[in-house]
């Protein structure tokens, strides 16, 4: 029996040794031989190894070690791979346009290759040496699938038309991917909006947000109730799981405690939705602003008579209530160097020009002179009353007339003083502009506005506090800015300049804002 036990132990030892040899497929050794780390290679970005060891996941600088084992990558023929998954709206046009712009700027040629089904890839080739340097691999899916791919380590970047949800955020944290809402884990790439669309021949030109909600919940089913012909309404939305469709339910239906009608035609891509709506005179859809054509967009109205249309400027300022930022989400691990360079490029002025040319709304700050504020000033005069009289409107004009409004605005999460996702990005963007000296020798005024719910004096105090909090956040983020070269002030006018009606939550949300006025 002794020999049998010994044979069994020997076999188990050999089995475990073989398993360890298979699992620990690389060994990293320092040049002096004093440090040695073995483990499973998880990734290599051309500079750093990422390996799973008995001590956990480690990232090791490749310049300081020698790699040995079957898993070691080739250092001479290394091609960076960046895997992207998520929104088809972003994958179809926007991301390819940015990759081509990045390649042109950095001396690379691009080669696009379809990979079948729901994917394609861009290969970047050095124009001089003709050597491949990177592959951008796309999985065209939905925002839901993009986050699922990231959590399964099958994607490096998520393309999303909505913010990450709490359950996804917690799951990412549990998997060691970090806080996905952090400034280095998420960013707004461009801006979009949810827009109601109809066929060109449909006589209806505008719809209230309330009636839009009632239509998509099934409460309204005939065009007569919206001022159209006696015909049933055919509803169209993007696929279940797409960020745009989820935003419709979260932001249009949920505030009214309404549920989506079962009689909705779904579309895999927003561009297909717009074409289907344009071909059906009785269709009503909600599409991406960037892909609304060939259908026609409806203007949003309120009971008080104010109206808001989606345009590049109203989306950029978030004055249009159904804005939908386009996000990139990144895990808490290093991307290959060329991937980091691409992300840096995507925030710069050259990329903003590419975003505009591709038909999307960029984030480059623009100035709007006071003489272009006609509709807003007309709304202010129409809304003037006993509490907010013409004397307050005159004070507003005295303060703002010498200045110009920046398209960079700040709004807040519902029921909170925390800036919303786009505004958090705007804080960082504005801080970087101050650090770069873009507003040196100028005047910078943070101006707070409120909704009309409650006493006017109290609303003005609330608006002033919001303006001060945004100012403080920007100045805190602008660590290297020469603030002595900029005149910075704070002002508030409360409910004196409404953007929308106060009879709905979406209208009050639009009116609660902080604007930037400059000279």
Is residue 349 domain-resident? Answer: no
Q: What's the token pair of residue 124?
A: 């970047």
Token readout for 109 is: 């040629």
212: helix, coil or strand? helix
Domain end position, chosen among 46, 68, 90:
68
Token match 């060994």: residue? 27
| Span 46-85, pLDDT tens digits | 788 888 898 888 888 887 888 999 888 877 678 899 999 9
The CATH number assigned to the domain holding 244 equals 3.40.190.10
Asked if 304 and 204 sit in the same domain, the reply is yes
Residue 460's beta-bridge partner residues?
none
pLDDT of 382 above 90: no
Q: How far apart are the first and last CA of the chain?
A: 93
Judgement on whether residues 382 and 510 belong to the same structural domain of the protein: yes
471, part of any domain: yes
* Token pair 């960013």: residue: 187
CATH of the domain at 39: 2.30.30
Kindly report the average pLDDT of the chain as a whole number. Answer: 86
Tokens for 425?
């990005």
- Residue 479 sits in a domain of what CATH number? 3.30.1330.60
Q: For tokens 């109601």, name the residue.
A: 196
Count of other CB atoms within 10 angstroms of residue 469: 19
Looking at residue 155, what DSSP letter applies? -
Query: Residue 406 falls within a domain, yes or no?
Result: yes
Which whole-number Å values give the CA distances from 318 to 199, 354, 368, 410, 515, in the listed order?
26, 21, 14, 8, 11
Q: How confident is the model at residue 384 (pLDDT cuts 50, 70, 90)?
A: low
Strands (E) located in 154-278? 157-160, 186-198, 206-208, 234-238, 264-267
- Residue 67 burial (CB count, 10 A): 18
pLDDT at 380: 67
pLDDT tens digit sequence for 263-287: 999 998 778 999 999 999 999 999 9
Contacts of 370 (CB under 8 A, 6+ apart): 397, 400, 401, 403, 404, 405
Count of domains observed in the chain? 4
Are 514 and 383 found together in one domain? yes
Q: In this structure, are 382 and 433 located in the same domain?
A: yes
Burial of 337 (0-12, 13-18, 19+ CB in 10 A): middle
Residue 393 shares a structural domain with residue 502: yes
Same domain, 154 and 182: yes
CB atoms inside a 10 Å sphere around CB 130: 8
Q: What per-residue confidence (pLDDT) applies to 276? A: 97
Q: Are 380 and 510 members of one domain?
A: yes
Give the H or E element holding residue 397. helix 390-400
**pLDDT of 292 over the 70 cut:** yes
Residues 22 and 90 placed together within one structural domain of the fold: no
CA angle (223, 225, 228) in 5-degree steps: 40
Number of Cβ within 10 Å of residue 204's Cβ equals 16
Residue 12: its H or E element: helix 2-23
391 within domain boundaries: yes
Tell me: do 454 and 410 sit in the same domain: yes
* Per-residue model confidence (pLDDT) at position 4: 42
Domain-embedded: residue 434 = yes
**Whether residues 398 and 476 fall in one domain:** yes
**SS3 of residue 464 by DSSP:** helix
Q: Are residues 273 and 290 in the same domain?
A: yes
Least confident of 25-34, 312-321, 339-348, 409-418: 409-418
Cβ pair 248, 274 in contact under 8 A? no
Higher pLDDT, 307 or 113: 113
More confident residue, 312 or 182: 312
Which band of pLDDT confidence, cut at 50, 70 and 90, is reported for residue 21? very low
CA 100 – CA 80 distance, rounded (Å): 16
Are 519 and 403 in contact by the 8 Å Cβ rule? The answer is yes
Q: Domain for residue 464, yes or no?
A: yes
Least confident of 138-152, 198-212, 227-241, 375-389: 375-389
d(CA 145, CA 142): 5
Q: Which two tokens stand for residue 457?
A: 């004096």
**Of 68, 89, 110, which residue sits at a domain end?**
68
Give the model's pLDDT for residue 445.
94
Q: How far apart are CA 427 and CA 420, in angstroms?
A: 11
Q: Which of 225, 502, 279, 269 is nearest to 382 (CA)?
A: 502
**Quick one: pLDDT band at residue 375, thresholds 50, 70, 90?**
low
Same domain, 174 and 198: no
Supply 332's token pair.
Answer: 């808490």
Neighbouring residues of 404: CB distance < 8 A, sequence distance ≥ 6: 367, 368, 369, 370, 517, 518, 519
Query: Of all residues in the chain, what percent carry a pLDDT higher than 90?
Result: 43
CA 262 – CA 500 distance, rounded (Å): 30
- Asked whether residue 19 carries a pLDDT value surpassing 60, the answer given is no
Q: Residue 356: inside a domain, yes or no? A: no
Question: Is 321 inside a domain boundary?
Answer: no
What one-character DSSP code corresponds to residue 129?
T
Average pLDDT score over residue span 440-455: 89
CA distance 180 to 173: 8
- What is each CA distance from 259 to 154, 214, 265, in whole angstroms? 33, 10, 16
Pairing of strands 513-518, 296-297: unpaired
Query: 3-state class of 395 per DSSP?
Result: helix
Which range in 40-54, 77-91, 380-394 is most confidently predicted, on average pLDDT?
77-91
- Quote the domain boundaries for residue 337: 80-191+327-343
**Which pLDDT score, from 0 to 100, does residue 23 have?**
43
Lowest mean pLDDT among 67-81, 91-105, 261-275, 398-412: 67-81
pTM given for the model:
0.79
């Amino acid at each position: 029996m002794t020999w049998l036990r010994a044979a069994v132990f020997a076999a188990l030892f050999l089995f475990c040794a073989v398993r360890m040899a298979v699992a620990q497929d690389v060994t990293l050794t320092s040049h002096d031989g004093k440090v040695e780390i073995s483990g499973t290679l998880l990734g290599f970005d051309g500079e750093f190894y990422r390996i799973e060891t008995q001590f956990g996941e480690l990232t090791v600088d490749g310049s300081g070690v020698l790699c040995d084992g079957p898993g070691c990558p080739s250092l001479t023929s290394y091609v960076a791979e960046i895997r992207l998954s998520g929104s088809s709206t972003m994958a179809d046009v926007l991301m390819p346009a940015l990759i081509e712009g990045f390649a042109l700027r950095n001396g690379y040629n691009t080669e696009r290759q379809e990979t079948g089904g729901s994917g394609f890839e861009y290969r970047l080739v050095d124009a001089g040496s003709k050597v491949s340097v990177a592959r951008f691999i796309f999985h065209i899916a939905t925002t839901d699938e993009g986050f699922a791919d990231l959590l399964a380590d099958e994607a490096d970047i998520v393309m999303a038309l909505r913010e990450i949800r709490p359950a996804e955020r917690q799951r990412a944290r549990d998997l060691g991917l970090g806080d996905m809402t952090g400034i280095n884990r998420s960013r707004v790439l461009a801006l979009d909006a949810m827009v109601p669309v109809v066929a060109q021949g449909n006589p209806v030109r505008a719809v209230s947000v309330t009636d839009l909600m009632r239509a998509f919940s099934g409460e309204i089913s005939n065009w007569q109730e919206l001022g159209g012909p006696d015909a049933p309404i055919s509803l169209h939305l993007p696929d279940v799981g797409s960020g745009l469709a989820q935003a419709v339910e979260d932001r249009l239906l949920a505030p009214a405690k309404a549920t989506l009608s079962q009689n909705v035609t779904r579309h895999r891509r927003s561009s297909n939705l717009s074409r289907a709506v344009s071909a059906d005179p009785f269709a009503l859809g909600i599409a991406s602003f960037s892909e609304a054509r060939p259908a026609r967009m409806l203007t949003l109205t309120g009971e008080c008579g104010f109206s808001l249309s989606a345009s590049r400027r109203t989306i950029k300022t978030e004055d249009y209530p159904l804005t939908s930022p386009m996000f990139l989400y990144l895990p808490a691990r290093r991307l290959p160097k060329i991937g980091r360079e691409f992300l840096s490029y995507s925030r710069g002025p050259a990329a903003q020009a590419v975003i505009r040319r591709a038909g999307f709304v960029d984030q480059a700050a623009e100035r709007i002179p006071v003489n272009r504020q006609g509709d807003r000033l007309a709304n202010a005069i129409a809304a003037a009353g006993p509490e907010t009289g013409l004397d307050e409107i005159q004070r507003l004009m005295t303060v703002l007339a010498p200045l110009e409004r920046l398209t960079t605005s700040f709004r807040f999460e519902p029921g909170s003083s925390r800036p919303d996702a786009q505004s958090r990005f705007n804080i960082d963007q504005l801080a970087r502009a101050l650090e770069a000296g873009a507003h040196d020798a100028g005047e910078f005024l943070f101006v707070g506005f409120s909704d009309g719910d409650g006493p006017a004096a109290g609303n003005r105090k609330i608006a002033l506090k919001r303006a001060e909090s945004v100012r403080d956040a920007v100045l805190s983020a602008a660590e290297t800015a020469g603030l002595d070269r900029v005149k910075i002030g704070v002002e508030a006018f409360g409910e004196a300049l409404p953007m929308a009606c106060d009879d709905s939550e979406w209208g009050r949300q639009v009116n609660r804002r902080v604007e930037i006025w400059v000279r």
